[in-house]
Amino acid sequence: MPARGLGNHWSVASDGSTLGANIERAPQRAVQQAGPLGASMRQPFDYDAAMKAMVGEYKKPKDWQIALAILGDGLAGAGGGQGYAVQNIVNRRNAFEDRQREAAAQIAGWQHDAYERQNEADLRAANPYTIGRSRLAYDPMTGETTELYRGRQDGEIYADSLGFERGSEEWNAALEDYVLRGSGPSAFERDLAMDDARTANDRGLEAYRQDNRVSLENLRQSGRAAMEGTRQANRMTLRQTPSAGRSGRAASGGRTATDAKGNRIEWNGSAWVPAR
C-alpha cells in the first residue's frame, strides 16, 4: 500500500516508517537520550508501548480462512448473491493499516514536540550564569561546567590591597587571615605573643610580691628587735630606780638612771629628763 502524505517534507508508510528527505523513522528512545539534562530527570517515554496501545492487535487470517472466504464469495455469486467474506478480511486489514499510520503520525508529533522541549531546555541550561563573582556555562551534551570568567573574591582583594605578590607566602597568609579572621595565622601569632607577655608579667609580678614579702618580714624583725631593746632598757631603768620610803617621806636626793642609748637621765617628779 502506498504511503499516506502528511506534509510537504515527510510521510508515514503503512508499516509505521517515516519517509521524506531521505530520513527514515528514528529509534523510539533516541529523542529522550539526546541530552543528559532530560534523561537524568525521569524515565524515558515508551513510544513502542504507546504505538501498540493505539494500533491494537491484528490477527492475520490463515490461508485456509482466505480460501474459504473466496470459495464462499464464489458460491454466493453463483447463487445470484453478493459475497462479503473477502471484503471483510480486506477491510480489517485496511483498518489496521489506518491505525498504524495514525499512530505513527501521532508519535512522530510527540517526538518532535519532545525534541523541541528538550532543545529549549538545553539552550536555557547552556546560558551563562553567575555564582559569586564568577561567570559559568553548563554544557548539556557533556554535563560539564566551564568557568568563563573568575572575578576576584573578597579575600583576594584584601591580599592584593596589601601589595603582596599573588601566590607568595605573605599573600596566602593574608588570604587566610581574611577568611579565617580570628583563627588565621596572624591572629594566632598575636595571641601567642600576648600570651607570652602575659606569662612574663605574671612571673615578674610574683617576683615583686616575693621581694615585698621579704622586705616586710625584715622590717617586722627589725621592729621586733627595736621593741625588745626598748623593753629591756625600761626594765633596767626600773631596776635602777629607788623605791619610795614606807613612811611616805621623800627620798633624799634625785633619782637617776641610764636610758637605752647610754645617756644619763633623772626623775624630776613627773617624768624622766636628761640629767643636769
pTM for this model (two decimals): 0.36
Strand partners, 273: 266
Mean pLDDT of the 24-38 span: 45
Q: What is the pLDDT of residue 89?
A: 75
Kindly list the domain boundaries of the chain, sorted by start residue. 4-129, 198-238
pLDDT at 3 over 50: no
The residue-averaged pLDDT of 70-76 equals 69
C-beta separation of 180 from 160 below 8 A = no
Least confident of 74-83, 127-136, 222-231: 74-83
Distance in angstroms between the alpha carbons of the first and the last residue of the chain: 167
Closest Cα to residue 256, out of 248, 264, 244?
264
Which pLDDT value is given to residue 12? Answer: 42
Say if residue 168's pLDDT is above 90.
Answer: yes
Q: How confident is the model at residue 161, as a pLDDT? A: 92
What is the model's pLDDT at position 19? 46
Q: Give the burial class of 49: count Cβ atoms within 10 A of its Cβ; 0-12 exposed, 13-18 middle, 19 or more buried.
A: exposed
Average pLDDT over residues 213-240: 84
Q: How confident is the prediction for the chain on average, in pLDDT?
A: 76
Q: How far apart are CA 265 and CA 241, in angstroms?
A: 11
Q: Is the pLDDT of residue 165 over 90?
A: yes
- Radius of gyration of the chain from Cα atoms? 61
pLDDT number for residue 52: 86
| pLDDT computed for residue 160 by the predictor | 92
Provide the pLDDT for residue 242.
60
- Report pLDDT digits (tens) over 91-116: 788 888 888 898 899 999 999 999 99
Residue 267 has pLDDT above 70, yes or no: yes
Predicted local distance difference test score (pLDDT) of residue 42: 62
Q: In b/e form, how buried is each residue of 74-111, taking b as 16+ CB within 10 angstroms?
A: eeeeeeeeebebbeebeeeeeebbeebbebbbebbeeb
Q: Which of 34-43, 97-106, 160-169, 213-222 has the lowest mean pLDDT?
A: 34-43
Q: 33 vs 50, which has greater pLDDT?
A: 50
pLDDT of residue 35 exceeding 90: no
pLDDT at 269 over 80: no
pLDDT grade for 13, boundaries at 50, 70 and 90 = very low
Mean pLDDT computed over 191-216: 89
pLDDT (0 to 100) of residue 110: 92
